[in-house]
Chain A
Amino acid sequence: MAMAKETAAQEFSHLVASHRPQIYRFLLASTRDVDLAETLTQECFLKAHRNWAGFRGESTAMTWLMRIAINLQKDHWRNRRVQFWRLTRTNAVDAAEASEWLPSGETSQEQRLLAQERVTEVWHAVDGLSERQRTVFLLRFVEEMELREIAGATGLSEGTVKAHLSRAVMRVRAEMGGKR
């Protein structure tokens, strides 16, 4: 019995180590708030730990964890008491600041600035997306998940995922086009 518990603890430890970066990244991109992303990541693994025994492996561990993370951030924003924080976004980094993290390639300074500007436009477009569109967009283009996996993580059908993704991309395109 103790042996089984130890094995489960080791498995979970491995799960945390291997999936924490991806969960944190998704939550950071969703909230643009470093502290909130950290808090929600911890809550996600806490919740996962509580339910670890019930995980049957019907989906991949990543999909399962992502589903918990999506629900946590959804719950967080839906809570009326944090609406004020949502509106003021006191801790959230603004789009231009977030775009400064663009890794420096071998391009010229001018090209780099241009690329940063484009990334800022994407952040603005993401701001204007609905919660579902944003989630689907980030899972596809940041986490590079397949539509099937996104459907599993969000609990939506693949068709709905496609529709949300399509609208999100159109919005990004419009944002980029509008500033040209």
Chain B
Amino acid sequence: MNWLMRRKKAEDAAAGQIDKLDELDEKSLMEPDLMDPALRRTLRDFSATVHAWSDAELSRQRPSRTTAARATGLHHGGALIGWGLAAALLLATGGAYEYHQRELAQQTAARIAQQRLAADKSRVEERVEAQKDEELFASVDSAIAREVPSAMEPLEPLAVVADGSEGSHK
């Protein structure tokens, strides 16, 4: 009989402790500051992880969703119609996805325009360089082609004098 009473007491005490724990838990659920610091920090990190992951996925472009579509397609008969409507809805509401698409298209267009500009610029530079080369070659050519006095030219007057003296001598 005694052991029965002792056991009941022990059970009551254990239940009381559990109640106390539950009470503490309940408070800490509403007021995270009451949680033990390690658990609080871990739950904060957990939340930060989910937020970071979700933000990254939302800003990432995902063109193919085949497996998920297959999985839900099995579940919902009108999934194809649903996808179409969802796409139309997103387009109509100017959702974030469309915004990213537009932004990407703008960025691509800007990049292509920049590349074109750079190509044009380099073409003009090449042309200017080529022109400079041509001018240089032309000036060199003209310098080389300039008329040079014949080798005997300086001696010509002497030859005339020699001829005259030869005549008078005769």
The 8 A CB mask of B40-71 against A (1 = contact, 0 = none) is 01110111111111111110001001011101
Task: Tell me whether A79 and B74 are in contact (CB under 8 A).
Answer: yes
**A43–B72 CB distance below 8 A:** yes
Range class of the A interface residue count: 35 or more
The yes or no answer to B82 lying at the interface (CB within 8 A) is yes
In the complex, number of A-B residue pairs with CB atoms less than 8 Å apart: 146
Cβ of A79: which chain B residues have Cβ within 8 Å of it?
74-75
Stretch at the interface among B7-15, B88-96, B159-167: B88-96
What are 24 contact pairs spanning A and B, CB under 8 A? Answer: A16-B93, A24-B54, A29-B54, A33-B68, A38-B65, A39-B71, A42-B86, A45-B86, A75-B75, A76-B71, A79-B75, A82-B71, A82-B75, A90-B67, A115-B42, A118-B38, A123-B46, A141-B46, A141-B47, A144-B47, A147-B30, A169-B28, A170-B25, A172-B43
The answer to whether A39 touches B29, judged by C-beta atoms less than 8 angstroms apart, is no
B13-39 contacts to A, CB under 8 A, are 22, 25-26, 28-30, 38-39
B109 at the interface (CB under 8 A from A): no
Q: Which of A91, A103, A169 contacts B25 (CB 8 A)?
A: A169
- In the bound assembly, the distance between CA atoms of A140 and B47 in angstroms comes to 10
Instruction: Give chain B residues whose Cβ lies under 8 Å from the Cβ of A42.
Output: 82-83, 86, 90
Q: Are B93 and A13 in contact (CB under 8 A)?
A: yes
Q: Is the CB of B50 within 8 A of A49?
A: no
A76 vs B62: C-alpha distance in the bound complex, in angstroms? 22
The distance from the CB of B100 to the nearest CB of chain A, in whole angstroms, is 12
Is A12's beta carbon under 8 Å from chain B?
Answer: yes
Across the interface, A122 reaches (CB within 8 A) one of B46, B74, B83, B94, namely B46
A122 to chain B minimum Cβ distance, whole angstroms, is 4
B85 within 8 A of A: yes
Interface centre among B39, B76, B82, B93 (most CB of A within 10 A): B93
Q: Is the CB–CB distance between B75 and A142 below 8 Å?
A: no
A residues within 8 A CB of B74?
Answer: 79, 81-82
- The answer to whether B30 and A166 have CB atoms under 8 Å apart is no
Contact between B25 and A166, CB atoms less than 8 A apart? yes
Known: A43-B82, A75-B75, A141-B46. 15 other contacts (CB 8 A): A9-B92, A13-B94, A21-B54, A28-B50, A39-B65, A39-B69, A46-B86, A99-B49, A102-B49, A119-B45, A119-B46, A142-B47, A147-B29, A147-B30, A162-B26
Contact A169 B93 (CB under 8 A): no
Q: Is B46 touching A142 in the complex (CB atoms < 8 A)? A: yes
Contact indicator B95/A17 (Cβ below 8 Å): yes
> Is A35 interfacial (CB-CB < 8 Å)?
yes
Shortest CB distance B27–A (Å): 11
Taken together as a complex, chains A and B put the C-alpha atoms of A90 and B68 apart, in Å, by 10
Is the Cβ of B86 less than 8 Å from the Cβ of A118?
A: no
Give every chain A residue within 8 A of B85 (Cβ-Cβ): 46
